[in-house]
Amino acid sequence: MADQRPTDPRHNPWHRDATEDDPGRSIVPYGSDTQEHRAGRDPFTVALVWCLLGGAALGFFTLIGCAMVAFGAGAALGGRNGAGVPVSAPRRVLSRQQILWCVLASVGGAAIGAWLGGLGLVFLLEAVVDVALSWVVARLVIRERASAGTGYLIAAVATVAYLVLSSVSALLAGVSPVTAARSMIDAVVSATVSGTSLDVAAQLRSLEGLLLLLWPFYYFVLGGLNVLCAHAGAWLSDLVPGSKQPWRMASFEAPRWSVIVLIVGVALVGVGSLGFLGALGSCLLSAGLCTLMAVRFVFMVQGFGVVTWWLSAHRFGCLVRFLVLFLAVDLEASFLVVSLLGLVDFWANFRKLPRSGRPEGTKA
Protein backbone atom coordinates (compact mmCIF):
# COMPACT_ATOMS: atom_id res chain seq x y z
CA MET A 1 0.00 0.00 0.00
CA ALA A 2 1.41 3.38 -0.98
CA ASP A 3 2.32 5.93 1.68
CA GLN A 4 -0.58 8.41 1.95
CA ARG A 5 1.30 11.05 4.00
CA PRO A 6 0.79 14.57 2.62
CA THR A 7 3.78 16.04 0.83
CA ASP A 8 3.21 19.64 1.92
CA PRO A 9 4.96 20.15 5.30
CA ARG A 10 2.32 22.66 6.34
CA HIS A 11 -0.37 19.91 6.16
CA ASN A 12 1.86 17.10 7.40
CA PRO A 13 0.85 15.89 10.90
CA TRP A 14 4.20 14.08 11.29
CA HIS A 15 6.20 17.28 10.55
CA ARG A 16 7.80 19.08 13.50
CA ASP A 17 9.45 22.46 13.20
CA ALA A 18 12.98 22.75 14.53
CA THR A 19 11.95 25.57 16.85
CA GLU A 20 9.28 23.50 18.63
CA ASP A 21 11.88 21.62 20.68
CA ASP A 22 13.58 24.90 21.64
CA PRO A 23 11.21 27.88 21.83
CA GLY A 24 14.16 30.29 22.22
CA ARG A 25 15.73 29.16 19.01
CA SER A 26 15.12 31.07 15.79
CA ILE A 27 16.23 30.53 12.26
CA VAL A 28 18.54 33.37 11.12
CA PRO A 29 19.78 33.58 7.52
CA TYR A 30 23.50 32.99 7.10
CA GLY A 31 25.50 36.22 7.12
CA SER A 32 22.74 38.29 8.71
CA ASP A 33 23.79 41.30 10.73
CA THR A 34 20.89 41.76 13.10
CA GLN A 35 21.07 43.90 16.20
CA GLU A 36 20.65 40.87 18.47
CA HIS A 37 23.73 39.19 17.06
CA ARG A 38 25.84 42.35 16.98
CA ALA A 39 24.93 43.60 20.43
CA GLY A 40 26.83 40.76 22.07
CA ARG A 41 30.22 42.13 20.99
CA ASP A 42 32.34 43.42 23.88
CA PRO A 43 33.82 46.81 22.86
CA PHE A 44 36.50 46.63 25.54
CA THR A 45 37.87 43.36 24.19
CA VAL A 46 37.74 44.64 20.61
CA ALA A 47 39.50 47.89 21.52
CA LEU A 48 42.14 46.17 23.66
CA VAL A 49 43.06 43.61 20.99
CA TRP A 50 43.22 46.13 18.15
CA CYS A 51 45.30 48.59 20.20
CA LEU A 52 47.75 45.88 21.24
CA LEU A 53 48.17 44.47 17.72
CA GLY A 54 48.29 47.96 16.19
CA GLY A 55 51.00 49.07 18.57
CA ALA A 56 53.07 46.01 17.68
CA ALA A 57 52.51 46.64 13.96
CA LEU A 58 54.10 50.10 14.32
CA GLY A 59 57.48 48.37 14.48
CA PHE A 60 57.06 46.95 10.98
CA PHE A 61 54.33 48.85 9.07
CA THR A 62 53.79 52.31 10.55
CA LEU A 63 50.81 53.25 8.41
CA ILE A 64 48.97 49.98 9.08
CA GLY A 65 49.81 50.26 12.76
CA CYS A 66 48.30 53.76 12.98
CA ALA A 67 45.12 52.54 11.28
CA MET A 68 44.83 49.58 13.67
CA VAL A 69 45.44 51.65 16.79
CA ALA A 70 42.90 54.22 15.60
CA PHE A 71 40.35 51.46 14.99
CA GLY A 72 40.82 50.22 18.54
CA ALA A 73 40.70 53.77 19.90
CA GLY A 74 37.52 54.42 17.94
CA ALA A 75 35.93 51.30 19.39
CA ALA A 76 36.88 52.44 22.89
CA LEU A 77 35.53 55.96 22.35
CA GLY A 78 32.13 54.85 21.06
CA GLY A 79 32.60 53.58 17.51
CA ARG A 80 29.45 51.71 16.54
CA ASN A 81 31.20 49.13 14.38
CA GLY A 82 33.65 48.27 17.15
CA ALA A 83 30.83 47.96 19.70
CA GLY A 84 28.58 46.10 17.27
CA VAL A 85 25.54 48.38 17.56
CA PRO A 86 23.40 49.89 14.77
CA VAL A 87 23.46 53.55 13.85
CA SER A 88 20.21 54.20 15.73
CA ALA A 89 21.62 52.92 19.04
CA PRO A 90 23.48 55.18 21.49
CA ARG A 91 27.26 55.01 21.52
CA ARG A 92 28.88 52.64 24.01
CA VAL A 93 31.84 54.62 25.36
CA LEU A 94 34.18 52.74 27.68
CA SER A 95 34.96 53.93 31.19
CA ARG A 96 38.09 55.96 31.86
CA GLN A 97 39.80 52.98 33.42
CA GLN A 98 39.09 50.80 30.40
CA ILE A 99 40.30 53.53 28.03
CA LEU A 100 43.49 53.80 30.07
CA TRP A 101 44.03 50.06 29.69
CA CYS A 102 43.61 50.41 25.92
CA VAL A 103 46.15 53.25 25.81
CA LEU A 104 48.61 51.17 27.83
CA ALA A 105 47.99 48.26 25.45
CA SER A 106 48.89 50.52 22.52
CA VAL A 107 52.15 51.61 24.16
CA GLY A 108 52.91 48.07 25.29
CA GLY A 109 52.33 46.79 21.77
CA ALA A 110 54.72 49.46 20.45
CA ALA A 111 57.35 48.27 22.93
CA ILE A 112 56.85 44.68 21.78
CA GLY A 113 57.16 45.76 18.14
CA ALA A 114 60.37 47.66 18.88
CA TRP A 115 61.79 44.64 20.69
CA LEU A 116 60.86 42.21 17.92
CA GLY A 117 62.28 44.51 15.26
CA GLY A 118 65.50 45.11 17.17
CA LEU A 119 64.85 48.86 17.22
CA GLY A 120 66.11 51.36 19.75
CA LEU A 121 64.66 53.77 22.25
CA VAL A 122 64.29 56.59 19.73
CA PHE A 123 62.03 54.46 17.55
CA LEU A 124 59.98 53.53 20.60
CA LEU A 125 59.46 57.22 21.32
CA GLU A 126 58.43 57.78 17.70
CA ALA A 127 55.95 54.92 18.06
CA VAL A 128 54.54 56.60 21.17
CA VAL A 129 54.05 59.76 19.08
CA ASP A 130 52.19 57.66 16.50
CA VAL A 131 50.01 56.14 19.24
CA ALA A 132 49.12 59.59 20.58
CA LEU A 133 48.42 60.79 17.04
CA SER A 134 46.09 57.86 16.39
CA TRP A 135 44.13 58.39 19.59
CA VAL A 136 43.67 62.12 18.97
CA VAL A 137 42.52 61.53 15.40
CA ALA A 138 40.12 58.78 16.53
CA ARG A 139 38.59 61.07 19.14
CA LEU A 140 38.02 63.79 16.54
CA VAL A 141 36.53 61.36 14.02
CA ILE A 142 34.14 59.74 16.50
CA ARG A 143 32.95 63.16 17.66
CA GLU A 144 32.65 64.33 14.02
CA ARG A 145 35.09 67.19 14.55
CA ALA A 146 37.81 66.09 12.14
CA SER A 147 38.60 68.56 9.35
CA ALA A 148 41.45 69.64 7.14
CA GLY A 149 42.54 72.13 9.79
CA THR A 150 42.71 69.58 12.60
CA GLY A 151 44.52 67.11 10.35
CA TYR A 152 47.16 69.67 9.39
CA LEU A 153 47.61 70.76 12.98
CA ILE A 154 48.15 67.19 14.18
CA ALA A 155 50.56 66.50 11.31
CA ALA A 156 52.52 69.69 12.13
CA VAL A 157 52.84 68.74 15.80
CA ALA A 158 53.93 65.23 14.82
CA THR A 159 56.50 66.75 12.42
CA VAL A 160 58.07 68.76 15.25
CA ALA A 161 58.19 65.64 17.42
CA TYR A 162 59.81 63.59 14.63
CA LEU A 163 62.40 66.33 14.02
CA VAL A 164 63.28 66.53 17.71
CA LEU A 165 63.65 62.76 18.02
CA SER A 166 65.70 62.60 14.81
CA SER A 167 68.00 65.34 16.12
CA VAL A 168 68.39 63.55 19.43
CA SER A 169 69.26 60.33 17.60
CA ALA A 170 71.90 62.16 15.53
CA LEU A 171 73.40 63.84 18.58
CA LEU A 172 73.60 60.51 20.41
CA ALA A 173 75.50 59.16 17.41
CA GLY A 174 78.00 62.03 17.71
CA VAL A 175 76.99 64.01 14.60
CA SER A 176 74.95 67.15 14.08
CA PRO A 177 71.38 66.85 12.71
CA VAL A 178 72.33 68.77 9.54
CA THR A 179 75.30 66.45 8.91
CA ALA A 180 73.09 63.41 9.42
CA ALA A 181 70.50 64.82 6.99
CA ARG A 182 73.18 65.63 4.41
CA SER A 183 74.59 62.09 4.68
CA MET A 184 71.13 60.57 4.24
CA ILE A 185 70.38 62.73 1.19
CA ASP A 186 73.78 61.95 -0.32
CA ALA A 187 73.16 58.22 0.13
CA VAL A 188 69.75 58.46 -1.53
CA VAL A 189 71.09 60.50 -4.44
CA SER A 190 74.06 58.13 -4.90
CA ALA A 191 71.71 55.15 -5.05
CA THR A 192 69.50 57.00 -7.54
CA VAL A 193 72.24 58.11 -9.93
CA SER A 194 73.90 54.70 -10.09
CA GLY A 195 73.42 53.34 -13.61
CA THR A 196 72.31 56.67 -15.10
CA SER A 197 74.11 58.88 -17.60
CA LEU A 198 76.59 61.53 -16.52
CA ASP A 199 74.24 64.37 -17.45
CA VAL A 200 71.37 62.96 -15.38
CA ALA A 201 73.73 62.29 -12.49
CA ALA A 202 75.01 65.88 -12.60
CA GLN A 203 71.46 67.26 -12.61
CA LEU A 204 70.50 65.13 -9.63
CA ARG A 205 73.64 66.16 -7.78
CA SER A 206 72.75 69.80 -8.32
CA LEU A 207 69.48 69.24 -6.46
CA GLU A 208 71.15 68.13 -3.23
CA GLY A 209 71.08 71.69 -1.83
CA LEU A 210 67.33 71.99 -2.51
CA LEU A 211 66.68 68.55 -1.01
CA LEU A 212 68.55 69.60 2.12
CA LEU A 213 66.29 72.66 2.46
CA LEU A 214 63.22 70.42 2.02
CA TRP A 215 64.52 67.80 4.44
CA PRO A 216 61.96 68.66 7.21
CA PHE A 217 59.14 68.25 4.68
CA TYR A 218 59.82 64.50 4.67
CA TYR A 219 58.68 64.31 8.28
CA PHE A 220 55.54 66.30 7.50
CA VAL A 221 54.67 63.84 4.73
CA LEU A 222 55.23 60.99 7.18
CA GLY A 223 53.02 62.64 9.78
CA GLY A 224 50.35 63.44 7.21
CA LEU A 225 50.21 59.86 5.96
CA ASN A 226 49.93 58.62 9.54
CA VAL A 227 47.04 61.05 10.12
CA LEU A 228 45.24 59.84 6.98
CA CYS A 229 45.63 56.17 7.94
CA ALA A 230 44.51 56.85 11.50
CA HIS A 231 41.50 58.72 10.12
CA ALA A 232 40.62 55.73 7.93
CA GLY A 233 40.92 53.32 10.86
CA ALA A 234 38.74 55.46 13.13
CA TRP A 235 36.18 55.92 10.36
CA LEU A 236 35.96 52.16 9.87
CA SER A 237 35.42 51.68 13.61
CA ASP A 238 32.24 53.78 13.31
CA LEU A 239 31.07 52.49 9.92
CA VAL A 240 27.73 50.64 10.11
CA PRO A 241 24.77 50.41 7.72
CA GLY A 242 22.98 53.74 7.71
CA SER A 243 26.05 55.81 8.61
CA LYS A 244 26.63 59.26 7.19
CA GLN A 245 27.66 59.39 3.55
CA PRO A 246 31.44 59.25 3.01
CA TRP A 247 33.48 62.30 2.11
CA ARG A 248 33.35 63.39 -1.53
CA MET A 249 36.29 65.15 -3.15
CA ALA A 250 33.99 67.13 -5.47
CA SER A 251 32.54 68.98 -2.46
CA PHE A 252 35.87 69.81 -0.78
CA GLU A 253 36.47 73.49 -0.12
CA ALA A 254 39.79 74.86 1.09
CA PRO A 255 39.52 76.73 4.40
CA ARG A 256 40.59 80.35 4.82
CA TRP A 257 43.66 79.52 6.87
CA SER A 258 45.23 77.79 3.85
CA VAL A 259 45.60 81.14 2.05
CA ILE A 260 47.06 82.74 5.19
CA VAL A 261 49.60 79.92 5.48
CA LEU A 262 50.41 80.31 1.78
CA ILE A 263 51.14 84.03 2.27
CA VAL A 264 53.32 83.27 5.30
CA GLY A 265 55.26 80.68 3.32
CA VAL A 266 55.90 83.13 0.47
CA ALA A 267 57.05 85.75 2.97
CA LEU A 268 59.46 83.32 4.64
CA VAL A 269 60.92 82.35 1.27
CA GLY A 270 61.35 86.01 0.36
CA VAL A 271 63.07 86.93 3.61
CA GLY A 272 65.18 83.78 3.65
CA SER A 273 66.42 84.48 0.13
CA LEU A 274 68.17 87.63 1.32
CA GLY A 275 71.88 86.91 1.30
CA PHE A 276 72.98 88.82 4.39
CA LEU A 277 71.08 86.71 6.96
CA GLY A 278 73.48 83.76 6.79
CA ALA A 279 72.39 80.64 8.66
CA LEU A 280 69.17 82.32 9.82
CA GLY A 281 68.26 82.97 6.20
CA SER A 282 68.79 79.31 5.35
CA CYS A 283 66.50 78.28 8.21
CA LEU A 284 63.82 80.75 7.12
CA LEU A 285 64.14 79.63 3.50
CA SER A 286 63.79 75.98 4.53
CA ALA A 287 60.76 76.77 6.70
CA GLY A 288 59.14 78.74 3.87
CA LEU A 289 59.67 76.06 1.25
CA CYS A 290 58.36 73.34 3.55
CA THR A 291 55.32 75.49 4.39
CA LEU A 292 54.53 76.02 0.72
CA MET A 293 54.92 72.33 -0.06
CA ALA A 294 52.68 71.40 2.87
CA VAL A 295 49.84 73.82 2.13
CA ARG A 296 50.00 72.86 -1.53
CA PHE A 297 48.14 69.63 -0.72
CA VAL A 298 45.04 71.59 0.32
CA PHE A 299 44.82 73.36 -3.04
CA MET A 300 45.71 70.15 -4.87
CA VAL A 301 42.71 68.38 -3.32
CA GLN A 302 40.51 71.36 -4.19
CA GLY A 303 41.84 71.27 -7.75
CA PHE A 304 41.03 67.60 -8.10
CA GLY A 305 37.62 68.38 -6.63
CA VAL A 306 37.03 70.83 -9.46
CA VAL A 307 38.17 68.25 -12.02
CA THR A 308 35.90 65.49 -10.64
CA TRP A 309 32.98 67.94 -10.43
CA TRP A 310 33.50 68.95 -14.06
CA LEU A 311 33.63 65.30 -15.17
CA SER A 312 30.43 64.49 -13.28
CA ALA A 313 28.64 67.61 -14.53
CA HIS A 314 29.31 66.65 -18.16
CA ARG A 315 28.58 62.93 -17.55
CA PHE A 316 31.76 61.65 -19.13
CA GLY A 317 32.35 57.91 -19.34
CA CYS A 318 34.85 55.87 -17.36
CA LEU A 319 37.53 55.94 -20.06
CA VAL A 320 37.44 59.72 -20.43
CA ARG A 321 37.46 60.14 -16.64
CA PHE A 322 40.52 57.90 -16.34
CA LEU A 323 42.39 59.72 -19.11
CA VAL A 324 41.58 63.18 -17.72
CA LEU A 325 42.59 62.21 -14.17
CA PHE A 326 45.76 60.54 -15.44
CA LEU A 327 46.65 63.72 -17.35
CA ALA A 328 45.85 65.83 -14.29
CA VAL A 329 48.15 63.75 -12.09
CA ASP A 330 50.95 64.03 -14.64
CA LEU A 331 50.53 67.81 -14.96
CA GLU A 332 50.40 68.18 -11.19
CA ALA A 333 53.64 66.24 -10.76
CA SER A 334 55.40 68.35 -13.39
CA PHE A 335 53.91 71.84 -13.24
CA LEU A 336 51.59 71.97 -10.18
CA VAL A 337 48.68 72.66 -12.54
CA VAL A 338 46.01 71.09 -10.32
CA SER A 339 47.21 73.00 -7.24
CA LEU A 340 47.06 76.26 -9.20
CA LEU A 341 43.54 75.35 -10.33
CA GLY A 342 42.53 74.82 -6.70
CA LEU A 343 44.09 78.15 -5.71
CA VAL A 344 42.17 79.96 -8.48
CA ASP A 345 38.94 78.17 -7.49
CA PHE A 346 39.34 79.55 -3.97
CA TRP A 347 38.20 82.92 -5.39
CA ALA A 348 36.53 81.95 -8.68
CA ASN A 349 34.27 79.27 -7.14
CA PHE A 350 33.76 77.31 -10.35
CA ARG A 351 31.46 74.83 -8.61
CA LYS A 352 29.19 77.59 -7.23
CA LEU A 353 29.46 76.27 -3.67
CA PRO A 354 27.67 78.26 -0.96
CA ARG A 355 30.25 80.34 0.91
CA SER A 356 28.25 82.18 3.52
CA GLY A 357 30.58 81.49 6.43
CA ARG A 358 33.27 79.33 4.88
CA PRO A 359 33.83 76.24 7.08
CA GLU A 360 37.12 75.20 8.61
CA GLY A 361 37.66 72.69 5.85
CA THR A 362 35.39 69.86 4.81
CA LYS A 363 34.60 67.64 7.77
CA ALA A 364 34.85 63.89 7.48
Which of these, 46, 82, 48, 51, lies nearest to 67 by C-alpha position?
Answer: 51
For 77, phi then psi, to 5°, come to -95, 5
Most distant pair of Cα atoms in the chain: their distance: 115
Specify burial of residue 131 (Cβ count, 10 A radius: 0-12, 13-18, 19+). Answer: buried
**227 neighbors 151 (Cβ within 8 angstroms):** yes
If pLDDT is split at 50, 70 and 90, which confidence band does 35 have? very low
pLDDT in tens, 46-82: 999 999 999 999 999 999 999 999 999 999 999 888 7
Closest CA to 215 of 253, 252, 183: 183
Instruction: Write out the residue range of the structural domain in which residue 259 sits.
Output: 248-364
Mean per-residue pLDDT, 122-130 = 94
Angstrom distance (rounded) from CA 14 to CA 11: 9
Res. 339: pLDDT tops 80 = yes
In this model, does residue 2 exceed pLDDT 70? Answer: no
pTM of full prediction above 0.85: no
- Residue 203 is assigned to a structural domain of this protein: no
What is the mean pLDDT of the segment spanning 210-221?
93
Q: Is residue 289 situated within a structural domain?
A: yes
> What would the pLDDT profile of 272-298 be if each residue is shown by its tens digit?
998 788 888 999 999 999 999 999 999
Q: Is 302 among the domain residues? A: yes
| pLDDT tens digits, one per residue of 156-194 | 999 999 999 999 999 988 898 888 888 888 888 888 777
The verdict on residue 154 lying in a domain is no
> 224 in a domain, yes or no?
no
Does a structural domain hold residue 142?
A: no
Residue 35 domain flag: no
Cβ-in-10-Å burial (0-12, 13-18, 19+) of 191 comes to exposed
Residue 21 reports pLDDT greater than 90: no
What domain count does the chain have?
1
The distance in angstroms from the start CA to the end CA of the chain is 73
**Contact, 139 vs 73, CB < 8 A?**
yes
With respect to residue 41, please indicate whether it lies within any of the assigned structural domains: no
**164-to-151, 263, 307, 329 alpha-carbon distances in Å:** 20, 26, 39, 34
Most confident of 122-136, 191-205, 344-358: 122-136
Q: What percent of the chain is predicted at pLDDT more than 70?
A: 86
Query: Under a CB-based contact definition with an 8 Å cutoff, are residues 157 and 89 in contact?
Result: no
2-6, 128-132, 290-294: least confident range: 2-6
